[in-house]
Every structure is written in structure tokens, then in C-alpha cells.
Chains A and B, each alone.
Chain A
């Protein structure tokens, strides 16, 4: 593994990391990974960028925040400034989720058992920011680590750093063995890092130097397909991952680069989070813009810059009847069109419904039925496919067919782990590598018995994390 560890240099006044040995700096490692989702999906977004109009409302969702026990800090009809905390995490009240706009709290939406779903803010025309002192790149190195953490927590951006394997907010009390910067998002059509970084190269470098305050080993990973548009920051990328979903997921990356058990507690951060963290430190104001992609059928929609927490309806446009909207086909959540995009989410997939139940569907040749198996004629043609939001079958017992094992990017045997979990044997599940699961969802995707493997494994991991926290 060649990464920053070999070019540890004290940054100069501009905050740039000067590495004398450019050869090492330019050396990009590559991981090989053959298992994963190999179909080509239609609807890749265009590389043009548009800016959406200012939304009437923004929302801060609590649904995409893992493990959180939210504690509200505002009431309905309170007026809030941009950057003002709306709720915090009861487990650590210094971790706050702040308003991405100035206005009044229009509605606080609760779900079943009074679980907080989202806080909706009606925007005013002008932003009034909560202002912090800007920190320049040169000041960064004089700042004690605790102060840096404190500032990021105050600004509502510390939680952009998360910690494997539970993907909870990073624990600032511990020192991470390494930090993975993921240039690509959770979905295969998440925003292109080249477009995210095209005007933010400086912030990206600043962000990396922030991360260097926490760990000497920072790994910047990008998928092969993205490298073309990433030439301005190419010298900063240390790891190339193949174009197979989910090779760019932090869990999958960690599994393929780790050498010892202590690396399991690695931190990771998404490229947009890193850029926003740097923007916040530089300006002292909460950065409100984010880039999102929307995929719908064969449309090649442009990348969109919008306010964080924009309404789904604004982003998604017209919705086909009975379609599902998700924030990631494989591992996102299902969203209602009347809610708002979450803190960590930057892609929407509008997945169409299937035509009515097909007569003798199980024995048709299936030229139009995408599959990763070899049991349909479609497996003989190499073309872009469209997939609908239905199950294509009914739930059955596990028949040990190993389709899940042959697709798992982290070499797990999901069916055996599932059996251990449903029989309450967490020890066995952990020994089989449960916590290496990167929640990519491919096991559920491929299972011919339609068992919710990914859901069962995720639940097992979450339960384990909860137990561990006490």
C-alpha cells in the first residue's frame, strides 16, 4: 500500500502538502475485485451541471442518519438561521444537525412511536448565517486537535466523517488507523467526483490536510471510470478501484486493503462531505449547496446543484405511476416524494413499476429480463438494461445455491451468516465475517429464493453495534 504515509511532509504556508518524491505521490495502487454487480444499467447522468432554483422548503431528515437517537432543539414556528442546530444526537449531544437555510420551522414530522422523521424549514429569501471564525490552511496546524473537532461539531459537519464497521459517526476520542476518502457515492450513478471537484480542488486539498490531522494514512479512492474527469486532483488519488458496484464503497475498499484487525475501525468520508467541511472551515459559514443526480428510465439528466435538504419533488420532477423513489438502488432508502433529501444522500433513483403479472413468466426465454445468472437469454447480450422495482418471484426457503456467495464483494457467505443470525448465533455470524459486510445489497439482489439477506445482515450488524454501545 503506497499512500500518504510515505510522503509525510510538513505542509508549507499555503497548506499544500509538498511531496518531494513525486514519483511515489503519483503512484496509484489498484485493487482487483471480480465479484459484484456487472450488469450495465441505463440512465447514467450527463456530465453537464445545472443549478436548481431556490426551494420553498428544506428539510433535515433523521432517517438516513445511522444509529441516531435524535433530541430536538427547536419547536415548530421557531425562526432559525442557516447553520443553527435543529436536533442533536442524544448519545453525544455535541453532534448536531443544523439548518441548511434561514427561515421558520414549518413542521416537525414524526413517524410511528414518535420517531423523528424530519424537520422542515420554510425558507426566507435571504440567508442569515451563524458565523464562525474562518480557519485558513496555515492556521490549521497551530490549532489543537480538540479545537478542530469542536469547531466541526459546532458547524454540524463532524458527522460527515463516519467509522466502520457500524458506519456510525466517527468517535473523536479515538485515533483512526486510516481514513478512506470515497470519491464515488453509494449508487453507481452518484454525482461524478470530477464535477464535484471541478471548482473545489483547493477545498479538496484543504480537506485532505484536515484529515491528516487525525491520521497519517489517508486513502483517496476513485473508480476507474471517474479518473478521466479527475485530472486536476489525480496526484492526490492513491487508489483506483474497478468499475464494478460496489468496489468504491468504503467497506469494500477496506476489506481489500486491510492487513490486520486493528484497521477494521477505519474512518471514511464522502468527497462532498470533505469539500463542505473545508468550505465551512475556510469561510466560517455552513455550506448549503450540494450536488445531486437523478436517474429516471433512459433519461440522461444533468448533475444538479441544489440546497442541502431540497424537497424530493423539486429534484425528481414528474413521477411515473407506482414508481419507487430511492436514494440508491441497492443500499439507499425509499423516500416519499413529499419529504426532503437527507444529509448523507446525493442521488435519487426513480425506479418504474413492472407490467402486470406475466403469464407463464417463469419459462419465457427472457431476452428482456436482466439477470446476473445464466438462466435467461438476456445473459447472452451485452446491452444497457432497465430494471423495475419488483421482486420477480416469491419468498422461498434457502436452497444453498451460493448465488449470494458468488456475488459478495467481501467474500462472505451471506446464506450461512443469515442462518447463524436467524438462529441467534451472533458469535458464529461474527466469525464468518458479518462485520465485513459492506451493505451493498447484492446478496438480496441475486437471491433466487428472494430472501432479504442484506436486510437480515444489516439488522444483525446494527444490533451488535447497539449491544456494544451498551
Chain B
């Protein structure tokens, strides 16, 4: 017998109702089922079941995030090297990036799991796999210089207010990771907004630099030339060798993750494609608006797609099935409007340089309404049977 299984069997009694750690049963259960996939016998028909379960579902989102995560770690180190005036090699960049990013991820998981276990123990339900995704998504939306206590505050807000007070996974209205980010964004604007910080390996304060979305051209020159002056060429934005939040900089890595999610049908392609379409259509409309030269209105769809966190948001945040609509036409509209609102916020709202977070949260609120309308339409198409 597997030695690990033996350990679990030895400990089983202590975590059962009669045991001394009965309160921590969900923690035991989560750990045990992480190692050994449970497969109880079917009690009701159908008597055969598909192999896909929520553990695999959520681990596929984690897999899709791996390119973004590894690139984010590498780029954080690379950018901090650039800020100090040196060009670091691959491993040096990766290691110094890991030194900055891993503590953020560890704090996010540790604090978030604390809340998850607390609520699971009180409510006596199993720990949901959904948090594995939330706990990784949230750090990837943060600038590398964020103080760790803010990470802890953010994930606490996201898990407790964003999810648990609604009843836990499956019942939340807003995406918990984005709720967490919104909390940090509005509570600690100095660390989060406008000018972002480049993590320095030794400098505590880091060095400030503008994000691509905060750039405007002056004196009648075009936006693209102003962007490339500051180092934001379309290719650097696409590949992601620019400063920014940990996970958002590389459009390529986001696209790899998005394609993986769409091919495995874990992420709904309607949301991702609808979002990209919405962004492109709106960006083209603004492009043809007169008198916008030098601002992001004139940037055109490709720059809007590659700059900022849009691709990250639409691929990994908007596709969260719980906070997105549950009907297919609803998903197209949802995605499209996220793209539309992102450009509107970027272009027409001087208060925020980036709009994707607010666009997704805003549409999360509207998702039930979209579902309601779609269902009403579908009901009207059915031959009634009562």
C-alpha cells in the first residue's frame, strides 16, 4: 500500500467527528483528496459518470496560467535589472524575479487559505478548488512592488467580502480575485495606480515608471511614436518586456493561456472572442474619431489589445464561470461589453488609465440580468409544456 495513504488512514480518526481535530476536517479532506482523487460509487442514476471533476477543471486554469506566471517572474527580475542600469541574463532575471514574486504568491495563498479553511470549518463543507485559482490570479494582477501586508489585506477582502459572505464558491456575484484587486486599487492608490513601480532587488522604494496606458503624445506627434520613444513598441508590448503588473505584460503568454483554455473548453471561447471583438470594434470607432491624435483614442485595436491587462483579464478573469453569465448569448454580450467598456474607460475617463478591471467587475454585476433576458427569450421560443 502507498505509504502516504497509510499516513492519511492513520490520521483519519483524529479528523473525524469524534476526533480531537474535528473542526479541521475540511483541511484534512482537502489535503487527502489532493493526493488521492476520491471516487465514491454512484448512488443514483446515471450509474456511469464523466471523468471531469472540479479539481481537474480548476487545475487546468492553473496550467493555463503557468506561461504568464513564469514570464511574469522573469520579466519582474529583468525590469528591475534594467531599472538599476544592468541587463540581467535569463537565470539571473528569473531568480531575482522569483525573489520578489514568490513571497507575494505565498502570502496570497496562505492568507486566502486561512479564510477558506475558517469558513469551511464553520460551515462544515469541503474546501472548494476555486480558491486555487483565485489565490494565483490575484498576485498576478499586482505590481511587484506591492507591500506584502497589502496583499494580505487584498486577498482577505476578496475571499471574505467577494465570495464567502455570498455563501462561498458558486454563489458569488463578483470575481473574487478582481474584487481583491479593486480593494487594493482604491484603498492604496499610491502603490497601485498611474505610475507603477519597478521592483528593485535592493531598493525598497523601487523606481517609478509610467505604464504604456498612461502615455500621451504632446505637440502633435502621434501616440505610437510617443510610445516607442518611451520603449513601448508594439512588439515589446506583445512579448511583454515592459514594466507592469506581474502577470499582465505579455500579450503572447496571455494568448497561449487563452488558447489552452478554449481548446480544452475550460474557458468559454465566447467570452474571450466576444471580448476581443468588442475591444477591436470600439478601438476602431475611436480611431476614426477626429481630433484625438496623440491620445489612446487614436491607438487602434492592436495597441489596445497588447497594452495593459486586457488580454489577461478577458482570458483568466472574465472566463470565471461563476461570475460570468450562464447562457451562451449572454456570454457573447458579456465579453463584447467588457471589451467595449475597457476602451471607453481607457479613452474617455481621465481618472483611470486602465479600464479592464472595472469593466469586468461592472459586467459581473450585469451577468444575472443578461441571463435573465436570454432565458426570457428562450422561454418564449419553447413550445410551452406545463
User: For B4, what are the chain A residues with a Cβ–Cβ distance below 8 Å?
Assistant: 359
B144 to chain A, nearest CB (A): 28
Alpha-carbon gap, A434 to B39, bound state (A): 30
Of A334, A378, A394, A441, which contacts B53 at CB under 8 A?
A394
Taking residues whose C-beta sits less than 8 angstroms from the other chain, chain A's interface range is: 35 or more
Knowing that A261-B384, A394-B40, A399-B321 touch, tell me 13 more A-B residue pairs with CB under 8 angstroms: A326-B47, A351-B48, A354-B39, A357-B36, A389-B41, A390-B39, A391-B42, A393-B38, A393-B49, A431-B379, A441-B46, A446-B50, A450-B53
Confirm or deny: A463 has a beta carbon within 8 angstroms of a beta carbon on chain B.
Answer: no
Question: Which of the residues A394, A416, A446 comes within 8 Å of B38, measured between beta carbons?
Answer: A394
Is residue B358 contacting chain A, with contact meaning CB distance below 8 A?
no
A279 within 8 A of B: no
Q: How far is the CA of A328 from the CA of B384 in the complex (A)?
A: 29
Do A375 and B52 form a contact, CB below 8 Å, given A393-B37, A400-B322, A433-B382?
A: yes
Spell out A's residues near B (CB within 8 Å).
165, 258-261, 263-264, 322, 324, 326, 328-334, 349, 351, 353-354, 357-363, 366, 369-376, 378, 387-394, 396-403, 405, 411, 413, 415-416, 430-436, 441-442, 444-450, 452, 454-455
Does B324 sit at the interface, judged by CB under 8 A? yes
Could you tell me if A455 and B45 are in contact, using CB atoms closer than 8 angstroms? yes
| B315-333 near A? 1/0 per residue, CB < 8 Å | 0000001101111100000
Question: A415 to B41, Cβ gap below 8 A?
Answer: no
Query: Do most interface residues of chain A lie in helix, strand or loop, or is the interface mixed?
Result: loop
Contact A445 B46, CB 8 Å, known A399-B321, A415-B326: yes
**Interchain CA distance A396-B54 in the complex, whole Å:** 7
Docked complex Cα distance between A165 and B169 (Å): 34
**Residues in B whose Cβ lies below 8 Å from that of A263:** 383
The answer to whether A362 touches B326 (Cβ under 8 A) is no
Note all chain B residues with C-beta closer than 8 A to A405.
Answer: 326-328
Which residues does chain B contribute within 8 Å of A329, judged by CB atoms?
Answer: 46-48
Q: Are A445 and B170 in contact (CB under 8 A)?
A: no
What is the bound-complex CA distance between A350 and B233, given in angstroms? 64
Whether the Cβ atoms of A388 and B48 lie closer than 8 Å is yes
B4 to A, closest residue via Cβ: A359
Contact residues in B for A373 (Cβ distance below 8 Å): 50, 52, 264-265
Q: Are A374 and B50 in contact (CB under 8 A)?
A: no
Within 8 A of A (CB), among B217-254: none
B11-54 interface with A by 8 A CB criterion: 33, 35-42, 44-54
Q: Is the CB of A362 within 8 A of B48?
A: no
- Which residues from chain B contact A398 at a C-beta distance below 8 Å? 170
List the A residue with the shortest CB-CB distance to B323: A400
- Cα–Cα, bound, A399→B172 (Å): 10
Best-buried of A396, A403, A447 by chain B (most CB within 10 Å): A396
What separation, in Å, do the CA atoms of A378 and B50 have in the docked complex?
Answer: 12
